Structure 1
Amino acid sequence: MTSHPHSQSRAPDAHAVDDRVTPFHVDALDARGRVVRLGASLDAVLAHHDYPAPVKRLLGEAVALTVLLGSTLKIEGRFILQTRTDGPVDLLVVDFAAPQDVRAYARFDAEKLAALQASLLAGAAFDSGALLGHGHLAMTIDQGLSVNRYQGVVALEGGGLEAAAHQYFTQSEQIPTRVRLAVAEEMHPGGAASSWRAGGLMVQFLPSEGGRVRPVDLHPGDAPEGTELPVADEDDAWTETQSLVGTLEDVELVDADLSSERLLYRLFHERGVRVFDAAAVVAKCSCSRERVMGVLANFSQEERASLVEDGRIGVTCEFCGRTYAFKAEEIVDAGAPDSAGA
């Protein structure tokens, strides 16, 4: 294993550090990617709401995936993952503000969740696809007012977040990508409250010769029966990369005693892997009294007036649960002048 920048080959660091995302390259396979390990930051995100365990597990997957993707932003901006579906968990929102801040929220239907649990065999784990159901997943890059937002949307058809990520990269980016996600609840002795851990790995095939990346054509749908459709053979390097990632077990991604470097060494030591400086991940909500005031100022005067109760307006942040209270006169007459069609 080699580290970066400007260092010689060395043994992988045995010291495991949570709440970090670690970039890596496997030059021999033209592959690069990231590993994320979440501990206290995930607990901090989940602590704001009384989520049932299956919802915590699903939201943990979403947070790990969002950090993997959002941490690739080269400049300050936001990466937002959002699902809207018909399943027991009908809404997930994870907001990553580069370079390190993450917050998240899930909305669920307790009755649908109980019905799903009752339908499972004894001891069976919740499947993230069953929790989500059918709908769509949107990934948005917001770099501020001066740059147009970029958004990619993929359908959720009963599969989980890993499958949705693969579909997104095939459909929107056309970059061969493999994603692995895992979440675990860690029990503590003596009746202490449990904690949560999440891990994720994303690896992409990015050869310098563009001709080596041959996207598979979409099925034409109306081809006559028996028509032979073109098949694009995968590059041998990418096939090998996927095989290696396929050996990765969930427990390795959430093992508190296994460092990200040792994890990567287990996977790619025969080919050699370079690791780069890890970046911190911090659970932090960006809400503030000023931001909430700004949002309310965009409402019409009638809408602001309808929010008044007992002479006050209360607004609760869905991400962190913090409540902001305003006197009616602060809000009702605030903001831009109200005009028809504005």
Structure 2
Amino acid sequence: MTLGARIAWDDTVLPFQLDRSDIRGRVARLDGVLDNVLAQHNYPPVIESLVAEMALLTALIGQTVKLRWKLSLQVRGDGPARLIATDYYGPTADGKPAQIRAYASYDAERLDLLADPFSQIGKGYFAILIDQGEGNTPYQGITPIAGGSLSACAETYFAQSEQLPTRFSLSHGRSQLPGEGETWRAGGVMLQHMPKASPFAKDGPSGEDGLLDASDVLDEEEGENWNRANVLLDTVEEMELIGPTVQPTELLVRLFHEEGPRVFDPQPVVFGCSCSEDKVRQSLSIYSAKDIGHMTTEEGTVTADCQFCGAHYVLDPKSVGFEAENAASDGAE
């Protein structure tokens, strides 16, 4: 593969369909996006791994939603890794990229740097939030933490909350090509069965902790199609997922050539953050001058930091709050 061909598939999500069965899917490749997401923070490797996996899931899931504005994924737990949060902003126009941002909150003193990253979450929940913008009611779906990975949590969410059998095969990590610097790379495949049968489980849930599993919402023929596609996906190798020597189109042929894979237009993704000074001012508009006074630093300013991109905003306390004397623009650093 030429360098140009490799770069063409970096930071993209490729939608596809398996015509032999009622299964749709996505292939995602992330490199620059992950580098930019993780460069905003100095996370230990165990947290970087969780953020990388979550960002990859977000890219795959976000592209499946007819999104007008934002999709968010959150994992909250009682372990050292308290919160992993990601946002996916849909393209603003045809041909424009989607945007991804992510951050984590963790207890450094409790964190086990040698443990399996997922074990650091503990008990908690996995949530998907969809906000279609002004005038629309946000949607939120929540399921308990289940399985042994973030991708397993997402699979459980779709089976339980959406009753859509879903499967992920993901890989991520640092890599280095000859003559190039070390970078983050991640790749994955998402399969999702669109059931024709009743969307309600007929024989009760069979998944972990009494939750629904893919087999609970498929009839016999659908189950055979789904199992066949999953067996084929099980043959994928880590380097085929991450690349860069195997193009996503080639990967689909390798895995599913007998299933009649058909691809659609790829979606580019970039790192992006929606924070702004105006949004900071808006969030402070509910506070009185007395409240703002408590937030004012010894230097006589009000400051705010974006958890996603690290932008640092410095504001004149007289210009914020509902008793603001003026609305002078201060700026971000």
- The partner residue of 1:105 within 97, 103, 106 is 103
Counterparts in 2 of 1:307 and 1:324: CA distance versus 1, 3 Å? same
The answer to whether residue 230 in structure 2 is matched with residue 242 in structure 1 is: yes
Work out whether residues 214 and 232 of structure 1, in 8 Å CA contact, stay in contact via their aligned partners in 2: no
Whether contact under 8 Å (2:302, 2:317) holds in the other structure is: yes
What does residue 340 of structure 1 align with?
none
TM-score when normalising by structure 1: 0.81
Indicate yes or no: 2:326 matched with 1:313: no
- Tell which has more relative contact order, 1 or 2 (C-alpha 8 A, sep 6+): 1
Residue of structure 1 in register with 2:214 after alignment: none
What secondary structure does 1:93 align onto? strand
Q: Corresponding residue for 1:334? A: 324
Q: Does 1:24 align with 2:12?
A: no
Looking at structure 1, the residues matched to 20 and 201 of structure 2 have their Cα atoms a distance apart, in angstroms, of 19
Q: Which residue of 2 aligns with 1:194?
A: 182
Q: Which runs of 4+ in 1 moved over 4 A?
A: 211-216, 231-234
Question: Alignment RMSD, CA only?
Answer: 2.6
- Structure-1 residue corresponding to 2:163: 174
Mark the structure with the bigger radius of gyration: 1
Distance 1:212 1:168, change over 3 A: closer
Contact 2:16–2:264 (CA under 8 A) maintained in structure 1? yes
By how many angstroms is 1:296 displaced?
A: 1.2
Q: Distance in 1 between matches of 2:285 and 2:306?
A: 16
Alignment counterpart, residue 272 of structure 1, candidates 243, 260, 274: 260
Aligned equivalents of 1:34, 1:198: Cα separation in 2: 14
Cα distance in 2 for partners of 1:330, 1:29 equals 59
3-state secondary structure, aligned to 1:148: coil
Structural mapping, 1:78-93, within 5 Å: 78-93=70-85
Residue 64 of structure 1 is matched in structure 2 by 56
Give the 3-state SS of the residue equivalent to 1:33 in structure 2.
strand
SS at match of 1:110: coil
Pair 194,139 (structure 1): closer, same or farther in 2 beyond 3 Å: same
Measure, in 2, the Cα distance between the counterparts of 1:33 and 1:302. 53
CA distance in 2: counterparts of 1:31 and 1:216, whole angstroms: 23
- Give the letter for the 1:165 counterpart: A
- Give the Cα separation in 2 of the matches to 1:300 and 1:165: 42
Aligned partner (choices 66, 69, 73) of residue 74 of structure 1: 66
Paired residues, what number? Answer: 302
| CA apart distance, 1:145 | 2.6
Change (3 A) 1:302 1:244: farther
What corresponds to 1:133 in structure 2? 122
Specify the code of the residue in structure 2 equivalent to 1:167: T
TM-fit CA distance, 1:184: 1.4
Counterpart amino acid of residue 168 in structure 1 = Y
How far the C-alpha of 1:212 sits from its partner, in A, is 9.6
Deviation string 1:120-170 (CA, Å, 9 cap, x unpaired) is xxxxxx534213221111110001131111101011156311110111011
TM-score, normalised to structure 2, is 0.83
Amino acid in the other structure paired with 2:27? V
The separation in 2 between residues aligned to 1:312 and 1:92, in whole angstroms, is 30
Give the secondary-structure state (helix, strand or coil) at the position aligned to 1:306: helix
In structure 1, list runs of 5 or more residues that go unmatched. 1-13, 118-125, 220-230, 336-342
AA aligned to 2:53 is E
Deviations 1:6-25 (A, max 9, x none): xxxxxxxx933100000000
Alpha-carbon distance in structure 2 between the residues aligned to 1:45 and 1:27: 35
Identity of aligned residues (%): 39
The alpha-carbon deviation at position 194 of structure 1 amounts to: 2.3
